[in-house]
Chains A and B, each alone.
Chain A
Amino acid sequence: MSEIAEGALRIEGLHKYFGKLEVLKGIDLAVAEHEVVCLIGASGSGKSTLLRCINLLEPVNAGRVLVHGEEITARGVDVNRIRRHIGIVFQAFNLFPHMSVLRNVTLAPTEALGLSKRDAEVLATDLLGRFGLADKKDEFPDRLSGGQQQRVAIVRALAMKPDIMLLDEVTSALDPELVSGVLDVIRELAESGMTMVIATHEMGFARDIANRVCFLDAGQILEEGTPEEIFTAPKEPRTQQFLQSILEAGRM
């Protein structure tokens, strides 16, 4: 079994319950190396939970998640080691408010990867510069705009040099005028070949950036295909309905 055949990420029959509520009802999804997969669907359809399961922030009840062929949901797997290779960015940024931007970025590389402080700072400064945050490195998070905070959160995840990035509605908490800056950063990541799974409400963006779009409905992937297929000729009535409602809300 070669690693290339395995792809970057494979999810098999994933079930997740919160108490008696089944939020993921058997998800199967394979993501190839350098592929960008967008998850769309109404709030509560399971997009966020799916991302959190991939990162092992939520234990799964049934099914498997494989990263480069390794079953990360197996018993006895060192979750800290796994998470170092999977970056996740949250809707609410979740920056550490008591640390400067630079320390936010260097914390995990120094403590989890064992990088020296100097190496971590070089890495962080370089990344912050690349994303237009060079002059913000000594600021504290609450002095930054939402868009800047979210870019810092992306940089913080990237500083771990992850193989896969998971983005959980990263623009949903932002004022409209700040959204494009963050989307540009993600576009740049996609162009650099980062493997990504993105939960998003930005349909125009998903259409632009995704190699593949999955429509989640009530904990299942109801329909998947190229952006072209999903956005111009959706087959399932639920998908059509969802896209229609998005269109009416002027979000397309």
Chain B
Amino acid sequence: MWLGGDPRLPEADRSSKILGPMRAEGAKGVAIAVVSTLVVFSLLLLVVVRSENWPAVRQAFFNGEEFRRSFPDIARKFGRNIEFFLIAEVFILALALVLAVMRSLPGSVFFPLRLMSIIYTDLFRGVPTILVVYLLGFGVPSLALPGVPSDAAFWAVVALILSYSAYVAEVYRAGIESVHPSQVAAARSLGLSRWQSLRFVVIPQAVRRVIPPLLNDFIGLQKDTALTAFVVAVPEAFKQAQIFQNADFNFTPLLAAALMFLLITVPMTRFVDWLVERERRKRQAGAAL
């Protein structure tokens, strides 16, 4: 199971933080780092900008005027991506927990439930998300079933939920399995039922341990809301960018959309790194007692 870093590795191999080695050298180290960074990046920029083909690249990808024209619309449509993400995430967290609990039920009575959970995760982890989005987003509305929503966006979000639940269920399961059996023994020995032990003792500890990998899946989901672009009628950020791109024969709007995603995913990534690091330090402090 992944819990953020391999505890078996020696300390030096794990300090992957960008600022890690610099801190030791103090103010002088920082100054050197700033200067060398400026030099390296300026040189790189110079090489790129002065190359023969730069004007053409700039015109197609980094067009200021095109950016100004497309960005406000794309940024507004990005609200839809966030909406899809938030709705999907709530259902994913719940459905995945049910799947993980189903799979961890012991005994032969629960074999059908375990089997169902296994088939589900195998299926949806094994199929490309875009395929599920296509299948549901185009497929279900085409049936025109009475009483069933015919909005492609609805089904695209359902597809994301189905697909990501399989991944998140595996993360939960890893967490549940990481809780030592002696914890369950202690809970059961006090007269708590199997369900109560799960609810009060196992799941809270399991969830706490898998928060960093869960957040990683959040980031993946946030990016994959762009997949809905292939089926939705009302555009989200990526589709809006495509519309601009097709109209203006320019790729800058796509980069504008990319920027919107980065604005969300980069801070989230840094946050996860920070959480993992904090968790690791806490564990080490605990081990030192």
The answer to whether A80 and B204 touch across the interface, beta carbons within 8 angstroms, is no
Is A83 a contact partner of B189 (Cβ separation < 8 A)?
Answer: yes
The answer to whether residues A90 and B185 also contact, given A96-B201, A97-B205, A111-B196 and a CB cut-off of 8 A, is yes
**What A residues does B200 contact at CB under 8 A?**
96, 107, 111
Which of B192, B205, B286, B289 is in CB contact (< 8 Å) with A80?
B192
Check A80–B191 contact: CB distance below 8 A.
yes
A96 touches B191 (CB 8 A): no
Contacts of A113 in B (CB 8 A): 191
Chain B contributes a number of interface residues (CB within 8 A of A) equal to 19
- Give the interface SS of chain B, mostly helix, strand, loop or mixed: helix
Rounded to whole angstroms, the CA-CA distance of A2 and B187 in the bound complex is 33
Q: Which residues of B lie under 8 Å from residue A81 when comparing CB positions? A: 191
Asked if B36 CB lies within 8 Å of chain A CBs, one says: no
* CB–CB A83/B186 < 8 A: no
**A83 CB contacts on chain B under 8 angstroms:** 188-191
Which one of A80, A86, A96, A111 contacts B186 once the chains associate, using CB atoms below 8 Å? A96
Q: How far is the CB of B106 from chain A (nearest CB, A)?
A: 12
Mark interface residues in B163-190 (1 if CB within 8 Å of A CB, else 0): 0000000000000000000110111111
CB-nearest residue of chain A to B285: A142
Instruction: Tell me which residues across on chain A come within 8 A of B192, comparing CB atoms.
Output: 80, 107-108, 111-112
> Cα distance A87–B188 when bound, in Å?
11
* Also in contact, A84 and B201, with CB within 8 A (given A90-B186, A142-B286): no
Of chain A, the residue at the smallest CB distance from B201 is A96
Chain A residues with CB below 8 A from B183, complex form: 94, 96
Check: B193 CB closer than 8 A to any chain A CB. yes
The residue on A at minimum CB distance from B191 is A84
Contacts known (A96-B201, A142-B289); A107 close to B182, Cβ less than 8 A? no
State the main secondary structure of chain A at its contact with B: mixed
Q: Does B28 contact A (CB under 8 A)?
A: no
Does A107 contact B190, Cβ atoms closer than 8 Å? yes
Question: CB of B208 within 8 A of chain A?
Answer: yes
Give Cα A88 to B286, complex, Å: 26
In whole Å, how far is A222's beta carbon from the nearest beta carbon of chain B?
28
- Could you say which residues of chain B place their CB within 8 Å of the CB of A55? 189
Bound CA–CA A156/B208 (angstroms): 23
Asked if A57 contacts B188 (CB within 8 A), the reply is yes
Residues of A91-119 at the interface with B, using a CB-CB cut-off of 8 Å, are: 92, 94-98, 107-108, 111-113
A160–B183 alpha-carbon span in the complex (Å): 17
A182 at the interface (CB under 8 A from B): no
Taking a contact as CB atoms under 8 Å apart, the answer to whether B201 and A90 are in contact is: no
Q: Give the contacting residue for B191; candidates A52, A92, A112, A142; CB below 8 A.
A: A112
Known contacts A111-B192, A142-B289; can you find 7 more A-B pairs with CB under 8 A?
A: A57-B185, A84-B190, A87-B189, A108-B187, A108-B192, A156-B190, A160-B191
Q: Return 30 A-B CB contacts under 8 Å, by A number.
A: A52-B185, A57-B185, A57-B188, A80-B192, A80-B193, A84-B190, A84-B191, A87-B190, A88-B189, A90-B186, A92-B182, A94-B182, A95-B186, A96-B200, A96-B201, A96-B205, A97-B205, A98-B205, A98-B208, A107-B192, A107-B200, A108-B192, A111-B192, A111-B200, A112-B192, A112-B193, A112-B196, A113-B191, A142-B289, A157-B189
